[in-house]
Structure 1
Amino acid sequence: MRRRARGFTLVELITTMILIGILSAVAIPRLSGTSSFSERGFRDGVFTALSHARRVAVASRRFVCVSITSSIVTVTRDLGTNPEAAASVSCTAPVPLPGAGSGCSANAVCAPNGVAAGGTAIVVFDPLGRSITTPNTVAPATVTISNQADITVAAETGYVQ
C-alpha cells in the first residue's frame, strides 16, 4: 500500500506567496497612515467649538467670536454690558470648550500635524445665535478642513452643519 504525500505542492506555495505579496503591496500602505483619522478628529473638534459658541452666545446674550487660523481655532466672548451694541464687539474672554484636547488651551482646538483649517477667519455669533460679519450684517460662514467636508454656518439661524 502506498502512502499519500502530505503538504503543499510547489505551485500552491508560489501562488500563496504571490497573493500575499500583492495584498501587502496594496493593503499595508492604507493601514499605516492615520492622517484621515486626525483630519476627521480635528473637523469634529471645530464643529463642536462652533456649535458650543453659538449656544454660549444665546445663553449669555453676548457676542461670541470663533477665530480660525490654519492650526488653531479659539473661542472667546465679548464682556460688553450692552448685548445689542454690535459696533463695539471686543471678544477677549475665553470660553471653555467641553472636552478640550491636551496640548491646547481650554478654549481652543489645535490641529494635529499635517492638518490645516481655512475659510472664514472669524465667525461671530450675536446674542440671537446668528452668524454676523459686520455690525448688524448677517452672513453665512464656511470653514474648510484639509481632505474633509466643509463646515457651514447658516446665516439667520447660526446652525452649524
Structure 2
Amino acid sequence: MRRSARAPSPDRPGWPQGFTVVEMVVLIALIGILGAVAAPRLVSISELRSAQSRRRVLSDLRFAQRLAIGSGCPVQVGFGANGYTLTQRSACRTGAFARDVLDPLTRQAPYAVAFEDVTTTSSVDPIVFDALGRATDATGQVSSAVIQVGPWPLEVVGETGLARVP
C-alpha cells in the first residue's frame, strides 16, 4: 500500500508560521483608512453635544414664538448659565412671568432645559415673545438678540421674532 502525500499541518515543521508581508501591508492600510475616517468623529463629542444643544435652543425659541402667537399671551425665555426656562404671565397679558409653560413632550411643568457641558448666554435676557410674535426685552421694547450656545451663535430678529442660525 502506498502512502499519499500529506498536506503540512500547523503542528509539524515546514508549515508556514505568522503573516506574509502582503497580509501585514493590507492590515496596516485598513487600520489607517478606518482611523482616518472614524477618528475625527470620535474626537469631537463635545462639539456634537454643542450642535445638538443649538438645535434644541432654536427649536424651543420657535416653539415659544408660536405659543405666544397661538395663545395671545406673551412667553418669556429666560437664560441661565447652562440652560433656559419658558414662562408666561400669570394673567395672560398682565402680572409677572410666574406661570410655567408645559413641556409639549412630557406635559409637565416647568419647561426648563439644562445642558451638561454647554453654556448659553443671550444679549437680551430675558427674551419675551409678544402676541404678534415679535421678540422684545423685559421692558417691552422690540429688540433683536444674539444667543451664544457653546461656540455657535443664534439670532432672533426683533420685528419678526424669527429665530435662525446667522
Q: TM-score range by the shorter chain?
A: 0.7 to 0.9
Partner of 1:15: 25
- C-alpha spacing 1:105/1:59, structure 2 compared with 1 (3 Å): closer
Partner of 1:4: none
- In our comparison, the structure showing a higher alpha carbon Rg is 2
Name the count of aligned residue pairs: 145
Q: Which has the higher contact order (CA 8 A, sep 6+)?
A: 1
Q: TM-score, normalised by structure 1?
A: 0.73
- C-alpha spacing 1:23/1:40, structure 2 compared with 1 (3 Å): same
- Measured on the aligned residues, the alpha-carbon RMSD in Å equals 2.9
SS of residue paired to 1:51: helix
CA distance in 1, matches of 2:47, 2:105: 21
What is the deviation of 1:106?
A: 4.4
* Native 8 Å contact 1:54 1:125 kept in 2: yes
Structure 2 stretches lacking a partner, 5+ long: 1-18
What is the deviation of 1:9?
A: 4.0
- C-alpha spacing 1:156/1:106, structure 2 compared with 1 (3 Å): same
Partner of 1:46: 57
Match 1:146 to one of 127, 144, 150:
150
Structure 1 stretches lacking a partner, 5+ long: 1-7
Alignment of 1:10-159 (within 5 A): 10=21, 12-23=22-33, 25-33=35-43, 34-80=45-91, 83=93, 90-99=96-105, 106-111=110-115, 113-120=116-123, 121-148=125-152, 150-159=153-162
Partner of 2:10: none
Q: TM-score, normalised by structure 2?
A: 0.71
